[in-house]
Structure 1
Amino acid sequence: MLVTETSLRKFTTGIFLAMGCSTEHAELATNVLLLADLRGIDSHGVARLTGYVRLWEKQRINARPNIQIVHQTPTTATVDGDAGLGLVVAPFAMELAIEKARQYGSGWVAIRNSNHFGIAGYHALMAVEQDMIGYALTNASPLVVPTFSNERMLGTNPICYGFPAGKYPPVIIDMATSAAANGKLEIAQRSGKTVPEGWIQAKDGGYTTDPFALKSGGGLLPLGSDREHGSHKGFGLAAAVDILSGVLSGANYGPWVPPFVAFLEPPTDPVGAGIGHFVGAMRIDGFRPAGEFKDHMDNWISRFKSASRVNEEQGVIIPGEPEFEAEADRRANGIPLVDAVVDDLNEVARKLKVSPLAP
């Protein structure tokens, strides 16, 4: 089903309003989800919407949070999200980081007591739009096994850097620290496809291509898949994200991070509050004039784009480039949604007495 941005925005905002969100928060949460769909990151767009509703029904998401700054210095802060939507809590924290950066050159904010915050790229782009370098991390439900383990201890723990450019789109490095994001497994499950070898480890430690393997005790593998291909590096990156997002903020970390799915209960022995994030903003003109930096970013991009090719038909892809191309296409031609997602969305809409999704 192809859906226009306008139709999907109206529907999604209506769901958040039906949950009890304020108009401001409903519109902000919708912006975060829709940017994922527009940029072709279907695993983190409206396909996640029903998950938020189910957590709200379980009273694990607070639709009217009192988001507070609980500790701060001129350049740093810790924010408590009051169990609110991460789609709302993380932008609040990034606005705070940006304001600190305006005054002091950089701002760094740790967040606790939050929930899933959508794509990390949304939050980094907030800083990029202010001629700043943006940084966004989050920990997540424990689905990833450390190198040499078969126990799920870490989330997919994405990391994102955003760098503004001049005539080119910004460079956005937004990636999971696991071999694949869990959302890609969900897409494979809905479409009845297997996944590539090296994404998942079965309970016995062997590779599997079954996207349902996590339900039988398997785990996602760190970036690199195995030690011979550098999985210890993916594990190290995921650990850094977990420490900055969870240990530093006072959120849960490691195997104590609450699951995103409503049918699984959070651990009974939490070590912190909710899910954790970490965001930052750095003023470019704290290092050199922003115009000079962006000119050189354009030069960096154009030089990499002109690198010699292994295959003449496939050039170097700059981080963030496919997403910007997808955004231009989907704004003009509509956003594709698979039938299973549409059915799930309309079932939740029926329960909440919201009009069904229209093309």
Structure 2
Amino acid sequence: MGCSDEHASLAADVLLQADLRGIDSHGVARLIGYVRLWESKRINTNPKITIVHETPTTATVDGDAGLGLVVAPFAMRLAIQKAGQYGSGWVSVRNSNHFGIAGYHSLLAVEKEMIGIAMTNASPLVAPTYSNERLLGTNPMCYAFPAGKYPPVVVDMATSAAANGKLEIAQRAGKPVPEGWIQDAKGNYTTDPHALKSGGSLLPLGSDKEHGSHKGFGLSAVVDIFSAVLSGANYGPWVPPFVAFLQPPADPVGLGIGHFVGAMRVDGFRPVDEFKIHMDNWIGRFKSASTIDPDQKVIIPGEPELEAAKERKTKGIPLVDAVVADLNGLAKRFGIEEL
């Protein structure tokens, strides 16, 4: 596509880490989407990423319409640098694109024994509580905490009932989705993974008011405000769609998609060793919790992804036929050996 070797390698790493961690919706399956956005001139493969506003502990970055897979790590490294000097660093991003899994960026801070935070707004597919209008994205957020003998605790989640990528997985597999993920254009529950194409919408985390969808709506709003209202990116229904054949809104309120990342030095609060001891104690206590079913155990956030990575590093990463077909199509497009 014309990316530098550095940017291409970084983007590939973000996608591969998603696949290794079992987050198939955000791995190489997404590659064709980025190519299509580039072909429609909505992704700049040689961006001049700049800092447009800055204080000792904060900054706003303009991604110059670059790959979010490249822009977000730039922002997180800037946040880490500021945290190293001042205890914490906070960076908002405008004029970017889809940034892959939020966990990748948060874990960059954990590598430096810091707490990492990453979030992004996204294409409007989610209706707020009581509405059937798509006004918010799946708007994921991630918090990552270092530990000692245990792996980091990584809370990486969409603020919708399900990530859009899970619908795409169901579409490729020809399977229905659970009730409570989507509503049709009239606001009725549906299990059709294609419902978004006929005017339906994803539901906020909680699905409906009786089950706490107002909380999911609230979390999504926080992500949108931090990522876009704060940075100067598009927010709410003005966020450009990830699908290349759909044009961005004609009346944008900002530039591109927005992200928000942060890093906090643990030793800004207590000695790192003490923190890790108590993180291990916290993890150990929850892992030993009594369970309703003796065959089940409490799952610490981040554990499923870690187990997937261990297995896939040994057995390989499974690809569904539809993704293989997409990759082979791209191989032909760019003159690369097919799978």
What is the TM-score with the length of structure 2 in the denominator? 1.00
CA distance in 1, matches of 2:118, 2:66: 18
In the other structure, the counterpart of 2:37 is: 55
In the other structure, the counterpart of 1:35 is: 17
CA distance in 2, matches of 1:291, 1:130: 14
SS at match of 1:336: coil
Deviation string 1:256-283 (CA, Å, 9 cap, x unpaired) is: 0000010111001000000000000000
1:256 aligns with 2:234: no
1:99 aligns with 2:84: no
In the other structure, the counterpart of 2:96 is: 114
2:30 is matched by which residue type in structure 1?
R
Identity of aligned pairs, percent? 78
Runs of 4+ deviating beyond 2 Å: none
In the other structure, the counterpart of 1:324 is: 306
Question: How far is the alpha carbon of 1:109 from its aligned partner?
Answer: 0.1
1:182 aligns with 2:171: no
CA distance in 2, matches of 1:265, 1:353: 28
In the other structure, the counterpart of 2:283 is: 301
In the other structure, the counterpart of 2:206 is: 224
Question: How far is the alpha carbon of 1:318 from its aligned partner?
Answer: 0.1
CA distance in 2, matches of 1:216, 1:261: 15
1:155 is matched by which residue type in structure 2?
G
Question: How far is the alpha carbon of 1:243 from its aligned partner?
Answer: 0.4
1:141 aligns with 2:123: yes
In the other structure, the counterpart of 1:6 is: none
2:95 is matched by which residue type in structure 1?
N
1:76 is matched by which residue type in structure 2?
T
Question: How far is the alpha carbon of 1:345 from its aligned partner?
Answer: 1.0
Paired residues for 1:1-359 under 5 Å: 19-357=1-339
Question: How far is the alpha carbon of 1:355 from its aligned partner?
Answer: 1.7
CA distance in 2, matches of 1:333, 1:185: 26
Question: How far is the alpha carbon of 1:140 from its aligned partner?
Answer: 0.1
Question: How far is the alpha carbon of 1:333 from its aligned partner?
Answer: 1.1
Question: How far is the alpha carbon of 1:90 from its aligned partner?
Answer: 0.1
Question: How far is the alpha carbon of 1:78 from its aligned partner?
Answer: 0.1
Unaligned runs of 5+ in 1: 1-18
Question: How far is the alpha carbon of 1:183 from its aligned partner?
Answer: 0.2
CA distance in 1, matches of 2:328, 2:62: 33
Question: How far is the alpha carbon of 1:352 from its aligned partner?
Answer: 1.4
Deviation string 1:94-149 (CA, Å, 9 cap, x unpaired) is: 00000000000000000000000000000000001100000000000000000010
Question: How far is the alpha carbon of 1:335 from its aligned partner?
Answer: 0.3
Question: How far is the alpha carbon of 1:354 from its aligned partner?
Answer: 1.6
1:56 is matched by which residue type in structure 2?
W
CA distance in 2, matches of 1:327, 1:164: 18
Question: How far is the alpha carbon of 1:79 from its aligned partner?
Answer: 0.2
Unaligned runs of 5+ in 2: none
CA distance in 1, matches of 2:109, 2:337: 35
CA distance in 1, matches of 2:71, 2:166: 25
CA distance in 1, matches of 2:245, 2:236: 20
CA distance in 2, matches of 1:261, 1:309: 43
CA distance in 2, matches of 1:342, 1:265: 27
Question: How far is the alpha carbon of 1:287 from its aligned partner?
Answer: 0.2
Question: How far is the alpha carbon of 1:353 from its aligned partner?
Answer: 1.2
SS at match of 2:60: strand
SS at match of 2:3: coil
CA distance in 2, matches of 1:242, 1:352: 36
Select the structure with the greater relative contact order (CA < 8 A; seq sep ≥ 6): 1
> Size of the alignment, in residue pairs?
339
1:116 is matched by which residue type in structure 2?
H
